[in-house]
Structure 1
Amino acid sequence: MSRIIADVIIVGGGIVGCSAAFHLARRKGTRVLVVEKGPLGSGTTKRSGAFVRAAHAHPAEARLAVESTKFFQRWKEIVGGSCGWTPTGLIVVAPAEHAARLREQTAQLQALGADAQIISRGDVRDLQPAARVDDIALAAHEPSAGFVDPVLATQSLAARAKELGATFKTGTMVKSIRIEYGRVVGIETNIGLIEALNVVLCTSAWTDRLLKPLKAEIGLRAHCAPIAFFDRPADLRAGHCAFEDWTTGALFRPHTFGLTMGALNTPPADDANPDSFDEAVAPAFVADLQQRIAARLPAMANARYARGHTGIYDLTPDDHAVVGRVPGITGLFVAAGFGGIGFALAPAVGACIGELVADGEARTVDVRALEMARFKTRDVLRDA
C-alpha cells in the first residue's frame, strides 16, 4: 500500500476527536488524519447524555464547560449545520449539608463568566411549578444549560473538518504507537504504519491500552453508566427544567419527543470492560431512578419507561480529566478520563488540543492543571 503521512494523527472519532480535528484543520497547511476503529461517534459518544452545563466542581473543567457552552450556542456560525442544540436551563438543588459547596461552586462559575446564580425555594417553584421544594436548603440556576444530539454534533464537526482538509479513516484499528528516541513517529495499525510527528489520543476508556506498552498509562477505570428515558405524563407534557439533584442523586432533563432522560450523578463503582458490557438497563435501576426523579417532580411517578441504554465512563485516579502532553514522549497528547462530562467540554478541549499541538500552549483555556504529569508528581486535583 502507499505510504501514509500526516502532521497530526487523532486516534478516536468521537466528539472529542472530531472537535480536535475541526480545530486543527482550521489551521491552513496542517495535514490532519483521524483514525477510528468503528463508525464515527460509535463509542462513548453514541451513548452520551449530551447534557451541556457549566456546573462542574473543578475550575479547569468549569472553564472548559463555559467556553464549550458558548460554542454549542453559536454552532451554526462557527461550524455550520446543526448540533441539535436545545436550551433547557438547569436547577441544581442541595440539602443543608451541601449548601456551602453549592454556594462556592456557583460563585466560582460567576467568576468565570457563567450565567449562574443562587435562587430561593420560591424561585425554584416559579421556574418549575410541578417541583417539590420543601426539602431544598439551597438552589442554583444556570439558564444557559441545554443538550445536543450527540451523533448529529459529531457528524457535523467531522463534515466541516473534512471540508477544511482533514482526512478520516474508519475501520482502522491502532495496534501501537511508534516511538523513536523519545518522540512519536507514527502509529501501527491494521492497514500498516501511518507516519506523523504528533499523535493525539482521544480514546476514552481504551486509552491506557495504547499507553501501557510505553509505561505511561494514566490508571483509568471504566464504569458502566446507565441512562433511562421516560414518557412524560400529561401534567409535564410541555417539558420541565433540567435538574441536578444533590438530595436524591439524580440528574435528569427533558428530551425530544415528550421524553425525560435521567441518570445517576454518581455511576456504579464496579469496573467494566469497555469492549464487553451489557448495554441493557436493569429493571431495578429504572425503578430506583424513577423514584429519585419523582421525589423532585412528583408527576413523574406516573411516567412510563420508554427505553434505556448503558454506556461507559472513563475515570482517572482523581476523577478529573486529562488534557495535554504525555510526559517524556515528545509529540504525544491525550484527551481522556472525562467521567461522563466529555461531551459538555468537547469544543473547548478540541481547541486546547489544537493549540497545544500547533503552538505549544493552550490559550482558549489554561489546562495545565489537567496535565497527565500530575499523577507522577502526586499533585492530584481536588474539587474547589
Structure 2
Amino acid sequence: MQTADVVIIGGGVIGAAILHEVARSGLGRAVLLEKSTFGAGSTGKSGGFLRVYHTDSFLSDLAAASFHEFLELRAHIGYVRTGLLMLEKAERVTEMEREVERLTKLGHNLQSLSGSEGAERFGGLEWQGVGGAVYEPDGGYADPVLTTRFWIKEARSRGALASEGTQVLEILHDNGRVTGVRTNRGVIQTSCVVLAAGAWSAELLRPMGIQLPVRSKTIQIHFLMRPEEAVEHPAFLDETTDIYARPDQSGLSLVGLPVDEWDIDPDLSVPADDAVRLRQASAKRLPWSESAWVSGGRRSFDGYTPDGRGLLKPADEVQGLLYAVGWNGGGYKLAPEIARRVVQDIQNRK
C-alpha cells in the first residue's frame, strides 16, 4: 500500500500550483492525482487572463499576490502582454476607484478611467453603458496548460509525484479524520487530502455526507476573426454585459459569455452551438463581432460558489481535508496565492 504526506485531487492549474508549493515547502511526499490528463478540465478551456483588480477586494488580494510570480514565469507560460480593461457599471464606480487607490498604494500598476476617458483612449471598443473602467498596462493572458505542466515538472524535480489516469473513487476517513484515498489503481494512505477537483468536487464529497456549495455552470467561448479594418483591442472583462474577450493569434479574438446552465455534468460533451447569442452580446463592445467569421467554439465550465469567492479552507466536517475549489472560471490568475495559503493551512495543522 502506498503512503503520502499530502494527496492533491485534481490535475488542473490549481492542483498543480499546490503540488509545486507543497514540494518546495518541504512538507514531505506529495502526490497529485488526475483522472484524465493534466489540464483537461476547465484549465484547458480557460482564457488565461492575468490581472490584479477585482470588484471583490478578497479576490484582488489573491490576484495581486499571484501576479508577480506569473511575470517571473512569463518565459515558461506563454505570457502575452495586451493590457487589460475591466469595464464597470456606473453604480460601481465609487467602489472601483476606492479599490484602485488601495491597490495602487500597494505598488500595483492600475489606472482608473471614466467612460469618456476610456472611449477616447480605446476607440476600438464601444463604451455605451460603461460607467468607468480599470486599466492594467501589464495585464494580458498566458497559457494555463503550459503553466500547469511547468509547475508539475518543477514539483517532480523536487521529488513529488503526479499521476494522470488515476481517478479518486473515495476519500477514506475514520473517526472524523482523513485516512487516505481509494483510486482505480489502489489505496493511498494519507492524513492530508487537498480537494482541487473543480466542478467534480461536490460529487466526490456527496458520499461522505458533505454538501459542498459548489455548482457547475456552462461558459460559451468562440474565436472570432477580426476584420482587417478592426483595431486590435486590449483584453477586457465587461461587468455590464458579462462578456470577456482578448486578442488571440492569427487575427482572432477569443470571446466568452457565461450561460445560465447550472449543475451540468462536466464529463458530458456539450456542442458549441450558441454562436449567435454570443456574437449579439459581444457586438455591444466589439461592433464588428456580430458579422465576424466564427473560427471554432467550445463549451467550457467551472465550479461556482454563491459568493463568488471560492472555498479556500480546511473542511469543518473531516480533519485533514482541505478545500481549494469553486473559483468561478477565474482561478488561473489566483493559483500561486491559493497554493501558498493551502500550504499555510497544512503547516498550521502539524
TM-score bucket (shorter structure): over 0.9
Between the aligned partners of 1:51 and 1:216, the Cα distance in structure 2 is: 32
CA offsets 1:147-187 (integer angstroms, 9 cap, x no match): 11121111111111111111112111111111122211110
**2:233 pairs with 1:240:** yes
Q: Is the 8 A contact 1:66 1:113 kept in 2?
A: no
**2:171 pairs with 1:177:** yes
Opposite residue 275 of structure 1, the aligned amino acid is D
Between the aligned partners of 1:349 and 1:214, the Cα distance in structure 2 is: 25
CA offsets 1:109-133 (integer angstroms, 9 cap, x no match): 4455432221134542454232334
CA offsets 1:173-222 (integer angstroms, 9 cap, x no match): 11111112221111011111101111111111111222222222312211
Between the aligned partners of 1:129 and 1:187, the Cα distance in structure 2 is: 54
Tell me the SS of whatever aligns to 2:62.
Answer: helix
Equivalent residue for 2:324?
A: 335
Tell me the SS of whatever aligns to 2:19.
Answer: helix
Q: Is the 8 A contact 1:21 1:32 kept in 2?
A: yes
Equivalent residue for 1:203?
A: 197
**2:241 pairs with 1:252:** no
Opposite residue 15 of structure 1, the aligned amino acid is V
Between the aligned partners of 1:209 and 1:246, the Cα distance in structure 2 is: 30
**2:54 pairs with 1:56:** yes
Residues 286, 107 of structure 1: alpha-carbon distance in 2 compared, 3 angstrom cutoff? farther
Equivalent residue for 2:82?
A: 88
Residues 288, 113 of structure 1: alpha-carbon distance in 2 compared, 3 angstrom cutoff? farther
Residues 246, 200 of structure 1: alpha-carbon distance in 2 compared, 3 angstrom cutoff? closer
CA RMSD of the aligned region, Å? 2.2
Question: How far apart are residue 20 of structure 1 and its match?
Answer: 0.3
Opposite residue 39 of structure 1, the aligned amino acid is T
Tell me the SS of whatever aligns to 2:43.
Answer: coil
CA offsets 1:26-50 (integer angstroms, 9 cap, x no match): 1236111111111111112111111
**2:265 pairs with 1:273:** yes
CA offsets 1:223-251 (integer angstroms, 9 cap, x no match): 111111111111236x3212222333321
Tell me the SS of whatever aligns to 2:316.
Answer: coil
- Which one of the candidate residues 295, 298, 319 is aligned to 2:308? 319
Equivalent residue for 1:262?
A: 255
Equivalent residue for 2:113?
A: 119
Opposite residue 244 of structure 1, the aligned amino acid is L
Opposite residue 49 of structure 1, the aligned amino acid is G
Compute the TM-score of the two structures, normalised by the length of structure 2: 0.92
Q: Single out whichever of 331-340 and 313-322 deviates more from structure 2.
A: 313-322
Equivalent residue for 1:66?
A: 64
Q: Single out whichever of 112-121 and 84-93 deviates more from structure 2.
A: 112-121
Q: Is the 8 A contact 2:220 2:278 kept in 1?
A: no
Equivalent residue for 1:160?
A: 154
- Which one of the candidate residues 278, 282, 288 is aligned to 1:293? 282
Equivalent residue for 1:128?
A: 122
Q: Is the 8 A contact 2:79 2:141 kept in 1?
A: yes
Tell me the SS of whatever aligns to 1:45.
Answer: helix
Residues 360, 52 of structure 1: alpha-carbon distance in 2 compared, 3 angstrom cutoff? farther
Equivalent residue for 1:212?
A: 206
Equivalent residue for 1:6?
A: 4
Gaps of 5+ in 2: none
Identity of aligned residues (%): 31
Gaps of 5+ in 1: 362-384
Between the aligned partners of 2:303 and 2:214, the Cα distance in structure 1 is: 6
Q: How many residues align?
A: 350
Question: How far apart are residue 18 of structure 1 and its match?
Answer: 0.4
Residues 281, 29 of structure 1: alpha-carbon distance in 2 compared, 3 angstrom cutoff? closer
Compute the TM-score of the two structures, normalised by the length of structure 1: 0.84
Q: Is the 8 A contact 1:66 1:112 kept in 2?
A: no
